[in-house]
Chain A
Amino acid sequence: MTDAGFWHGRSGLVVPALLAAFTTYLLVGVQTMDVPEGTDFPGPRFFPLILIVLGYLLSALLVLHYLRHPEPVDTGDQDGGQWRTFSDWRAVAWCVGGFLVFALTIELLGWILAAAVLFWCVARGIGSTRPLFDASLALFVASVVYLAFAQGLGLNLPAGILGGF
């Protein structure tokens, strides 16, 4: 794997990047905080500040770890068909995208339609190849859940545009 670029096997750097981003969020929070006058030590900034120091320190350590130990990169022909570090991004995109659509449209479309879309997208992402059957099954599952939980147990689920009929 001599021709592999720097990023090969170093995608793990996303972990320290996320940690550093979250730590920065905490830092911004601490700086914009309105602490009331006369608050005794240790005030509301005390604990987050400890976490911020730790967060940046750990990010640095994780960066070091991933620079020194890149993951083994899977090539096309694995013996035994084992893929240790492979991610199927298309499948993940179907699931994440489906959930995003669900979250965006739940109040507009209502539970039944939005949940059916979610079910359909996840099923497709995980490898179902029967879109029409999936769609009917998705509608069926969403409706059963709606009946059981909204009508039966009284949970608060939006009816959406279907509620107008």
Chain B
Amino acid sequence: MESLSLLMEGFAGALTPMNLLWVVVGCLLGTAVGVMPGLGSSMAVALLLPMTFALEPTAAFIMFAGVYFGGLFGDSTMAILMNTPGQASAIASTFEGHRMAKDGRAPQALATAALGAFLGGFSAAVVVVFLAPSLADFAATFGFAEYFALAVFAFVATSSIVGDSVVKGVSALVVGLGIATIGMDPISATERGTLGVPELFDGVSLVTVTVAVLALGEVFHIASRVRRDPKTVAMKAGGRAWLSRAEFREAGPAWARGTAIGLPFGIIPVGGSEVPTFMAYDLERRIDRKRPRPMFGKGAIRGLAAPEAAGNATTGTAMGALLALGLPVSATAAIMLAAFQQYGLQPGPLLFDRAPDLVWSLLASFFVALVVLLIINLPFAQLWAKLLLIPAPYLYGGITVFCGLGVYALSAAQFDLYLLLLIGVVGFVMRRYDVPLAPLMIGIVLGPLAESSLREALLSSDGDYTVLVSSWITWLLYGILALVLVVTVRAKLRARRGADV
């Protein structure tokens, strides 16, 4: 197997002492940020994005992999102990997980979540290692029309599936796409939407938007509610942090089912792992209802195991889609894409040829990161909860300072700080009125690709629009998109009819 030998070389690259250090640092940082109430892995990656200017690419991405997965582990720890999911993908884990903790089974819940996340992530990493190269070869045959279809797929799926209102989702997308058009038009070299401001000639930096929307806007949002939201208190989690044989047998099938649901969603851009975690939770609940003694609502171990496995499986294959197709399926993946672009690397089919050692070291570091995370989370989950002792004013004060640091260090321009503040306020308004943020991120990251492939396709066909649907790949992509939309609409209608959680 060619993939295996390449992966072994990847391990050789990832296991150097220095890179190993970055994995561990990334895992610790990611878990720490994930554990903080209200902070999720996307904020962790956004705040660390400016670090990329001080590190070489391989080290930076290896650290990001640790942060990314670590954030998910931390999110679920908090979902279980405090009922406060840091990211939408951890919401499904709060239902049964927090109930287990209330029943005094917090250590078992934490162990179930950590093992589930590990298994899901590990299976995803295996799938990515074997399928990503073929996916990249397949994607190498894509032309402009296919790339445009791919971008449309991501736009429609992220803006309409997650969140309650399609209009709000598409509005966020339009703002993202609009921001992406500011600056020099790459095809005709025309200046666009700069109003003659020289700082805007190169466009609005992705780092500025990311930090503003995901970090600074979040701080403003938390400030606006900090005295109003009821105080949440973490549950104490003492006792044995291991599962009995019976518990293992109970959770095992749920882990497997969750992983199976989560894997394909890494490639389907529906805005991250929120959808698969809820699907996995829902499936377990239905199976549970048919059993002689339904456990759901009383702290069912399966109701926690499945979404945890699904969430990390999706996250893992999403990284594969990002590497092989250059397609970010969630806000966090969009930030990773931004990081690649900072180094002048373009994820996609060519990356496997141009920077194979980077790709394979990154893939190998997924495995390393998952093992490290299992080690630092399984026995020590309770210790992480101690981070909650940092008083909120200093935590958010520190985060704000880091927002300023990252953006200023990148450009050394005050103008970027004003822009950061402006977009941060917009991010706050969006949060305040429940406008989803992921479409904006996807829009700004994929906007240039969508625009240039659309225009190139039309230029090559002399303005004939049928070129956009001229190949079977475009048919396939639009077909899957239609299918996904139909399924979502049905699921939403069904959810409206009643839930018994």
Q: Answer yes or no: do A and B interact.
A: yes
- A154 within 8 Å of B by Cβ? yes
Interface residue ranges, A against B (CB under 8 Å) = 12, 14-15, 18-19, 22-23, 25-26, 28-30, 32-36, 39-44, 46-48, 51, 54-55, 58-59, 61-62, 65, 80-83, 86-89, 91-92, 94-96, 98-100, 102-104, 106-107, 111, 115, 118-120, 122-128, 134, 137-138, 141-142, 145, 149, 153-158
**A58 nearest CB neighbor, chain B only:** B171
CA gap between A82 and B181 in the complex, in Å: 41
- B230 within 8 Å of A by Cβ? yes
Interface contact B191-A18, CB-CB below 8 Å: no
Interface contact A92-B224, CB-CB below 8 Å: yes
Interface contact B226-A28, CB-CB below 8 Å: no
**A137 nearest CB neighbor, chain B only:** B394
How large, as a class, is the contact surface on chain B?
A: 35 or more
Residues in A with CB closer than 8 Å to B396 are: 122-123, 126
Interface contact B393-A122, CB-CB below 8 Å: yes
- B418 within 8 Å of A by Cβ? yes
**A15 nearest CB neighbor, chain B only:** B433
Distance (Å) between the CB of A95 and the closest chain B CB?
A: 5
Q: In chain B, residues 174-229, which have Cβ atoms closer than 8 Å to a Cβ of chain A? A: 174-175, 177-178, 181-182, 185, 187-195, 216, 219-220, 222-229
CA gap between A157 and B401 in the complex, in Å: 13
Given contacts A58-B170, A126-B393, contact A15 B224 (CB under 8 A): no
Residues in A with CB closer than 8 Å to B219 are: 95, 122
Interface contact B181-A81, CB-CB below 8 Å: no
Partner of B192, one of A48, A83, A124: A48
CA gap between A118 and B455 in the complex, in Å: 44
- B341 within 8 Å of A by Cβ? no
Interface contact A115-B391, CB-CB below 8 Å: no
Interface residue ranges, B against A (CB under 8 Å) = 53-54, 165, 167-168, 170-171, 174-175, 177-178, 181-182, 185, 187-195, 216, 219-220, 222-230, 391-394, 396-398, 400-402, 404-405, 408-409, 412, 414, 417-418, 420-421, 424-426, 428-430, 432-433, 435, 451, 454-455, 458-459, 463
**10 shortest interchain CB distances as A-B pairs:** A29-B193, A103-B417, A128-B393, A123-B393, A44-B185, A155-B409, A153-B54, A119-B397, A83-B228, A91-B223
Partner of B417, one of A23, A102, A128: A102
Q: Give 20 A-B pairs besides A51-B177, A124-B393 with Cβ atoms closer than 8 angstroms.
A: A22-B175, A29-B193, A47-B181, A48-B178, A48-B192, A48-B193, A51-B174, A51-B181, A86-B225, A88-B224, A88-B226, A91-B223, A92-B220, A98-B400, A99-B417, A106-B404, A122-B219, A123-B394, A126-B397, A155-B405
Distance (Å) between the CB of B406 and the closest chain A CB?
A: 9
Residues in B with CB closer than 8 Å to A58 are: 167, 170-171, 174
CA gap between A149 and B222 in the complex, in Å: 27
Interface contact A46-B53, CB-CB below 8 Å: no
Interface contact A122-B397, CB-CB below 8 Å: yes
Given contacts A14-B429, A55-B178, A89-B224, contact A115 B404 (CB under 8 A): yes
